[in-house]
Amino acid sequence: MRAAVLFGPQDLRVEEVPEPDAGDGVAVVEVQAATTCGTDVKMWRHGHRILPPYPCRFGHETAGVRADTGERVLVSDSVACGACGPCRAGRAQICRSPTWVLGGFAERIAAPVAALHPIPDGLPAEAAAMAEPLAAAVHAVRRGTDATDVGVLGGGPMGLMLTSLLAAQGRSVTLADPHAERRAQAEALGAHAGEHLDDRHELVFEAVGRAEAWRAAAAAAAPGGVVVLVGGCPTDTEVSFQTGPLHYEELEFRGSFHHSREEVDEALAALAADGGLWRTLRGPTISLEELPAALRTPTRGPSRKWVVDPRT
């Protein structure tokens, strides 16, 4: 079968590779759609801590059909160990030894059955694939509070996913992004949008992943507010904050990472209930062979996810 194989930073080739094997607790899934995200660009550009040694496969937002049962499934990108401290405390998102399931940019993928989720009837594969990142947004919303006045920093796919979930809960959402096209996407999803968060909000989500954005998110929180940090910076990034608001205004910072199995199912249900989000994020459908060029293309304009369909 054909698969996209990373041989090193920015060295991605589509090659003929051995067929994956089903086995004990492992099923083969025929990939119908694998969506791209910023993490894929990072993995392609300079590697990533969860990638196995080169040469390796990637692609972690994957939907298709189980070869053995014919069931339509989303392949989640990880299975929590169930045994570590966080897992036993009900926090599978920060499992200390998850099994990562990568390799969606291929005709087929072998995945633990525990990583598979049934796709709701009528939800297309390219929409179902987006349940993986959307589950992280479901988790981030849960990490926040029930404040009605919410700021979102960043109009990339994650910021738009947060906007969609928060607006669906009837909250007042203000999204900040320098790109007019992304602000228009946020407005279509029910947010107010501007270039900056000019007012201070009870609850602020940072969905950019840069030190200056973490600082801007803190500055946009109202006294007593909560800041949920969703965007991943390089792990050794140091961010400095003024102590005044943290101390005298009791600002609270909460990290948010990844998702649980239940949050993936919630995300699938949310995508099936409202097509507005996945339709705005769905970019062009491309073949495996077109993936290297797509990852090289700088993202400008609206937030879009490429849909890799290895059957094309």
User: What are the DSSP E strand ranges found in 147-216?
Assistant: 149-153, 172-176, 192-194, 201-206
Q: Counting every residue, how long is the chain? A: 312
In whole angstroms, how close is the CB of 83 to Zn ion at the nearest point?
A: 6
CB nearer Zn ion, residue 92 or residue 147: 92
Nearest C-alpha neighbor of 268 from the set 73, 90, 59: 73
Nearest C-alpha neighbor of 169 from the set 141, 195, 143, 194: 141
Nearest C-alpha neighbor of 48 from the set 176, 189, 177, 234: 234
In whole angstroms, how close is the CB of 23 to Zn ion at the nearest point?
A: 22
CB nearer Zn ion, residue 22 or residue 81: 81
CB nearer Zn ion, residue 39 or residue 287: 39
Contact between 135 and Zn ion per CB under 5 A: no
In whole angstroms, how close is the CB of 36 to Zn ion at the nearest point?
A: 8
In whole angstroms, how close is the CB of 1 to Zn ion at the nearest point?
A: 23
Residue 236's alpha-carbon distances to 40, 110, 210, 211, in angstroms, are: 20, 33, 12, 11
CB nearer Zn ion, residue 83 or residue 269: 83
In whole angstroms, how close is the CB of 61 to Zn ion at the nearest point?
A: 5
In whole angstroms, how close is the CB of 234 to Zn ion at the nearest point?
A: 17
For 48, the 3-state DSSP assignment is: coil
What is the separation, in whole angstroms, between the first and last Cα of the chain? 13
CB nearer Zn ion, residue 84 or residue 246: 84
In whole angstroms, how close is the CB of 157 to Zn ion at the nearest point?
A: 8
Contact between 137 and Zn ion per CB under 5 A: no
Contact between 37 and Zn ion per CB under 5 A: yes
In whole angstroms, how close is the CB of 85 to Zn ion at the nearest point?
A: 8
By CB under 5 A, the residues from 102 to 121 that bind Zn ion are none
Alpha helix stretches (DSSP H) within 169-301: 180-188, 211-219, 243-248, 261-273, 276-281, 291-296
Could you give the count of Cα atoms lying within 13 Å of 295 in the half-sphere of its Cβ?
28
Binding segment for Zn ion among 29-37, 144-152, 266-274, 304-312 (CB under 5 A)? 29-37
Q: How many residues bind Zn ion (CB under 5 A)?
A: 8
User: Exposed, middle or buried, 8 (CB in 10 Å: 0-12/13-18/19+)?
Assistant: exposed
DSSP state of 106: B
CB nearer Zn ion, residue 158 or residue 197: 158
Binding segment for Zn ion among 4-12, 47-55, 127-135, 144-152 (CB under 5 A)? 127-135
Whole-angstrom Cα distance, residue 218 to residue 250?
Answer: 11
Whole-angstrom Cα distance, residue 23 to residue 111?
Answer: 10
In whole angstroms, how close is the CB of 18 to Zn ion at the nearest point?
A: 26
CB nearer Zn ion, residue 87 or residue 203: 87
CB nearer Zn ion, residue 80 or residue 228: 80
CB nearer Zn ion, residue 39 or residue 172: 39
Binding mask 66-95 for Zn ion (x = CB under 5 A): --------------xx--x--x-------x
φ, ψ of residue 65 in degrees (nearest 5):
-125, 130
Contact between 39 and Zn ion per CB under 5 A: yes
Q: Which residues bind Zn ion (CB under 5 A)?
A: 37, 39, 80-81, 84, 87, 95, 133
